[in-house]
Structure 1
Amino acid sequence: MDKYTTSKYLVIVEPVKKVAELVKTAYSMNIPLILLVPFENDVPIFEQMVPNARVINIKNDSIDEWIKLLPPVDKIGGVLAGNEISVDRAAKLAERLKKGRYTLYEDAICCRYKDEMRKRLKSKNVANPKFVIIKNKSEIEEATKEIGFPCIVKPVDQSGSVNVTLVNSNDEVEAAFDRIKSVSIFDYVYKPEEILIPRKEEVIIEEYMTGQEFSIESFVRNGEVIFSSVTEKKTTHAPYFIEIGHHNPTLNYSNIENEIKEFGKTVLDALGIREGVAHCEVILTKDGLKVIECANRCGGDNIMNLIKNSYGIDFYKSLILNSLDMDPEIEITQNNSSAIRFFYSNNDKKVNDIYFEEFNDSLAENVVECNLFIKKGDKINAVKNLFDRFGYVICKGKTPTEANERIEEVLNKMHIE
């Protein structure tokens, strides 16, 4: 008998076919699955990906209508979000069904929308940048007088650094405001008619914080952080702040990792994240640690792969177990280091040729993954958001320095002409 045997369904809300680690992991565990899929064309894709799952096409954003499509409540064991934009609605569905372990909807909202997160953290006296939330361009001048220049303009309902911009004048704020209103992360993933969730009108103008960025990957059960790890970020900095690399554990800040973890616990407590995985991004400013943002979900950018290679912990598997009120498998079985670096360009260019020199045996055994998303004849865009990155390499090592050295070796062997 499989150790994860259960007759209860795990409901996954709006899984994304291109980033389906959660779905694939649950399937590999023989967990009965119900996938609530908003796009009719994706139904056969998921039916092929997980043949034994019940794939249900949802036509709207109504929790009441979703419940009518589900089997009786006693057949359901838990609910999880299939992507970041579904965290709040998955929490609402779990709360309505009263099944499994979940963060309450009122708290999940603060993990989904950056304006709600900022307001909650401020009310709990957690170190936050100064911020103003606006809806109209007529509010820009007053907001920038309060915040000052340079400042950051960002949407409240997006991710992946899409439309996060450093600005130095009211004219630049207006341009950033217009960009946020006209283009969203949804435009990179969905067709217009496929988007069920209306955009929020709010835009945040906030203090420009400088310093080293980190993410804290935590596992929470019944309000207690039972595991956390700090990842050091590498970004393009101004004006778009695109993440181009991660080191787990940190490459240069091992002396303050415990301090960062404790700050992360304070953030999770303030936001009410009581169950599952949390991905919290913070920055070490001259005034100390401050929150960039925090989400009740697995970190993207293959960070979960880094955690697995560094510590032997499968966050996806443990998240699934916890949501079904089973014991998560949070046990450190190894102490290694791992790192990822994304391939990107600072300029628009056409790829005439792209290749790697052959890896020697010593390097090859430390390369976990190396993937390119482009080929000869393709065009590379100057990096302005995560969708402009065109591949990545993940390396491991006994220490953060060793993992980083392997990354640099691979980068030196890549040639783009």
Structure 2
Amino acid sequence: MTAPDPNAQVVFVGYNAAYLRAIDGKVPSGSVVVIEEPDIIRKRELQDAASRFDCLERIVAAGYQQSSEALDLAAGLAAERPVAAVVPGLEYAVPAAAALAEKLGLPGATEEAAQALRDKARLREVSAAGGVRNPRWREVFGPEDILEFAGDGPVVVKPANRQASVGVQLLDSVDAEGAALAWERTSSASEYEQVPDRELRWRFLAEERLQGPEFSIEALVRDGEVVFENVTAKSVIEGPHPVELGHLLPAPLDDDTQAAFATAIRRLVAATGFRTGILHAEWILTEEGPTLVECAGRCPGDYLIDLVDLAYDTKIRLTLIDLLAGRPVSLPSAARRTSAIRFLAAEPGTVTEVSGLETAKGLPGVHDAEVDVVVGQEVRPWASSWDRAGHVIATGPDAAGTLRRVLDADAAIRIATD
């Protein structure tokens, strides 16, 4: 991997503290500029964020969520200092980052691919046309559409252009009352700190509810060619909200299933016209084969990049910058170990005690354990990824051993609620 050009800057669209923390000290001082929504800077108190990371020179306030304002900064940014790469820091930043990269003549997803990745209805259309297996679906505009689509069968109701499982609901069956409630919950889902205050346009889908184990593929792509791929097995909680409970990678798969996923991700790349960057595609393995759930064009959340780095001895965030800068990269073809994460849960209520964290950290193979709630804080039922109470991460020589280690660490931590 070549070293970053000390005279060039890397522009992130969307503030991602985990990404900045991972590259801090590994890229030149002051070489990163972040574009963030003014409302989000205020809500997340990011005015002094540049003082938190040596690599971060400044945050520039500009709209990018369903806005072209950030694109207007291109000429000014390039005039101040050469731009080496444009990185989408967050889900809602993917289209703006792709457009900015194109305007600056840099590698990226392409605007067309980015728009498809940010809208599940559009993604369904283009991926199906390219031979990717999709569930039956339709856009919905109210409870009557949900009821008509579902009939007597199970259904998924979800936003087409949100993130983090926000507003997603799994319904075993639908009647008029259930359809009305599903529509109200899906259409009113909010993310106060993640979106600007101005009115945004949301779309909604009803989809056939698929049966089978869930997986994701994390892939790096250069000029339309997959240069690295990993398949992750994931588990979700039971009930109407499919929030991820844990991830294990690489997934223990037989050769035929591994080949089926490899074919599926390449069809998806070709269908969307995705050129350069990272993809996080989620699938359900049905009897017919991998069926697409959704796909993101940025680094995945849920610590998946950290799990990939642990399993493959990589530095994916740095590698992605090199890819988007057009620099050569070197990537492993196989994992050296397995890694897993388990998210901590607690009974809804007010936290009265947290114990066992240090015990969990001391268990074999445990790399990280964090509790994100404190005594006196309210714990809500899981409706999205934002509701989880913490996590544990472990590694091991094989899938079974790693899973056992991460579950032991999970069991060691107790979050008591009243």
Q: Same fold, TM exceeding 0.5?
A: yes
Alignment equivalent of 1:163, drawn from 162, 167, 179: 167
Report if the CA contact (8 A) 2:86-2:101 is conserved: yes
Instruction: Write the deviation string for residues 193-213 of structure 1: whole angstroms up to 9, x where unpaired.
Output: x3457132x210000001100
Correspondence list, 1:104-123, <5 A: 104-123=110-129
Q: 1:119 offset after TM fit, Å?
A: 1.4
1:133 aligns with 2:139: yes
Aligned position for 1:210: 211
- Contact preservation (8 Å) 2:280, 2:300: yes
CA contact (8 A) 2:348 2:378 kept: yes
Q: Identity over aligned residues, as a percent?
A: 25
Aligned residue-pair number: 404
CA distance in 1, matches of 2:59, 2:336: 39
Match in the other structure for 2:388: 389
Distance 1:254 1:25, change over 3 A: farther
Distance 2:156 2:28 in 1: 45
Q: Distance in 2 between matches of 1:181 and 1:286?
A: 32
**Which aligned pairs between 1:10-409 and structure 2 lie closer than 5 A?**
10-16=10-16, 19-22=17-20, 24-25=22-23, 28-30=26-28, 32-39=31-38, 40-41=41-42, 42-51=45-54, 53-58=57-62, 61=67, 62-67=69-74, 69-72=76-79, 75-98=82-105, 100-145=106-151, 149-167=153-171, 168-169=173-174, 170-184=176-190, 186-187=191-192, 189-190=193-194, 194-195=196-197, 198-200=200-202, 202-251=203-252, 256-331=257-332, 335-345=336-346, 347-356=347-356, 359=359, 364-409=363-408
**TM-score between both structures, scaled by the size of structure 1:** 0.89
What 5-or-longer segments of structure 2 have no aligned partner?
Answer: none
Write the distance in 2 (CA, Å) between the matches of 1:206 and 1:364.
Answer: 42
Q: For the Cα contact (< 8 Å) 1:214–1:232, is it kept in 2?
A: yes
| Cα displacement (A) at 1:403 | 0.9
Q: TM-score, normalised by structure 2?
A: 0.89
Shift of residue 96, structure 1, vs aligned partner: 1.7
Conservation of the 8 A alpha-carbon contact between 1:313 and 1:332 = no
Partner of 2:411: 412
Letter in 2 for 1:116: R
User: What's the CA shift for 1:280?
Assistant: 0.7
| Secondary structure, aligned partner of 2:352 | coil
Greater mean deviation of Cα atoms: 125-134 or 33-42: 33-42
Amino acid at match of 1:404: L
State the Cα RMSD in Å: 2.6
Q: Deviations over 1:226-260 (max 9, x none)?
A: 11111100111331111010001114667622322
Change in Cα spacing, 1:287 to 1:30, as seen in structure 2 (3 Å) is same
More displaced stretch, 118-127 vs 103-112 = 118-127
Moved more, 229-238 or 83-92: 229-238
Q: Which amino acid aligns with 2:126?
A: R
Gaps of 5+ in 1: none
In the aligned structure 1, how far is the partner of 2:9 from the partner of 2:199?
25
> Would the aligned equivalents of 1:153 and 1:173 in 2 still touch at CA under 8 Å?
no
